Chain A
Amino acid sequence: MSTAVAVKKDKAPFDYNKYLRPNKLPHIWCPGCGHGIVLKAMLRAIDASGLSKDQICMVSGIGCSSRTPGYVDFNTLHTLHGRAMAYATGVKLAKPSLKVIVITGDGDALAIGGNHFIHTCRRNIDMTVLVYSNAIYGMTGGQYSPTTPQGANATTSRYGNIEPVFDCCELAKASGATFVARGTAYHCQELEKIIFEAVQHKGTSVVEILDQCPTYYGRQNKYKSVTEMMEKIEKDGTVSVKQADKLPPEKLQGKLLRGVLHKIERPEYCEQYKKFIIGKAQGK
């Protein structure tokens, strides 16, 4: 009689060390920070896209999220606060064969680098911009950022934030980005697919990723645990675009849409530059 054991076939876990600099770990992020979850989803997406480590250039600004390039084994560049996309534009124009990925935070991209962000979108230069949006400036002590919700507490808004929120996706869409999506750290498998699609897209692709800062945002807004933050902000606070059509409008109130929100085709900057400028400059 057969004694075959009826267990599920072993699914080998993903080998992250292939893309990491293991001697740099453990990373500086606080316990429960969502940036690590997003980093893992990104590494899985890059692995699925089949790009080699030398084909990728990762550029970041300043902030908690911008520490990411220190831990990954690609060509990496850690630049000035808010200016990551300006550096990335230079990298892409100098070497268009590279796949440029910009890692930036909500304050880095939308406040300090606001101009660089909208003009990168306007030019439609081929790069993937991942905006880690934790609604706070974590590295400098928890000041409110352009994505801190109205009424939320931060170190610089002790009586609640009165400023309206910047919608990163709407801003990118209006500025001319050709791929705009939103994901969360909670829905990490969906996020992996979104980042994969963003990396494949030719043109500026912007992905806003909602994640959690338990140390500053969580503590100042009376969240009891990381899990509670993830469930209330990322799970209950968002609706998938596929479900949104079926739900009544009152159920969508106060919720952010998740998934690919905008995707069009438009001439890409490097190609246009090659076509119209380089030839003329060389007198051909």
Chain B
Amino acid sequence: MAEPAKKLPNIVISETLCKGCSICVDFCPTNVLELRGNVVAVKNLEACTRCQLCDLRCPDFAIQVF
């Protein structure tokens, strides 16, 4: 039997609020995020463990994980 599909987290990034400081990219323990230009973007959603460290340390209210 096939493995049941894992429910993926929903990472919401506000492009108007993000200033591209890269704190979330550097502190993500599973390397989910990357910087594209001046805004952070999701690189590898499957690796996200919903630890919320990006949300806790984002100074700009720009990222939340649902």
Given contacts A26-B17, A225-B26, A227-B27, contact A36 B64 (CB under 8 A): no
Are B16 and A33 neighbours in the complex by a CB distance under 8 Å? no
Chain A positions within 8 Å of B65 at CB level: 13
Nearest A-chain residue to B38, judged by Cβ: A31
Residues of B within 8 A of A (CB): 1, 4-7, 16-17, 19-23, 26-27, 49-50, 52, 55-61, 64-66
Stretch binding the partner chain, chosen from A2-10, A55-63, A137-145: A2-10
Nearest A-chain residue to B7, judged by Cβ: A7
Chain A positions within 8 Å of B49 at CB level: 8
Docked Cα-Cα span, A25 to B28, in Å, equals: 24
Shortest distance between the CB of A210 and any CB in chain B (Å): 14
Shortest distance between the CB of A232 and any CB in chain B (Å): 13
Given contacts A1-B1, A26-B16, A188-B56, contact A226 B21 (CB under 8 A): yes
Docked Cα-Cα span, A13 to B60, in Å, equals: 15
Instruction: Give 1 or 0 for each of A209-242: 1 = CB within 8 Å of chain B CB.
Output: 0000010000000000111001000000000000
User: Which of B7, B20, B22, B56 has the most A CB atoms < 10 Å from its CB?
Assistant: B56
Interface flag for A105 (CB, 8 Å): no
Chain A positions within 8 Å of B66 at CB level: 10, 12-13
Chain B positions within 8 Å of A11 at CB level: 50, 52
Interface flag for A27 (CB, 8 Å): yes
Given contacts A10-B66, A26-B16, contact A227 B52 (CB under 8 A): no
Are A13 and B55 neighbours in the complex by a CB distance under 8 Å? yes
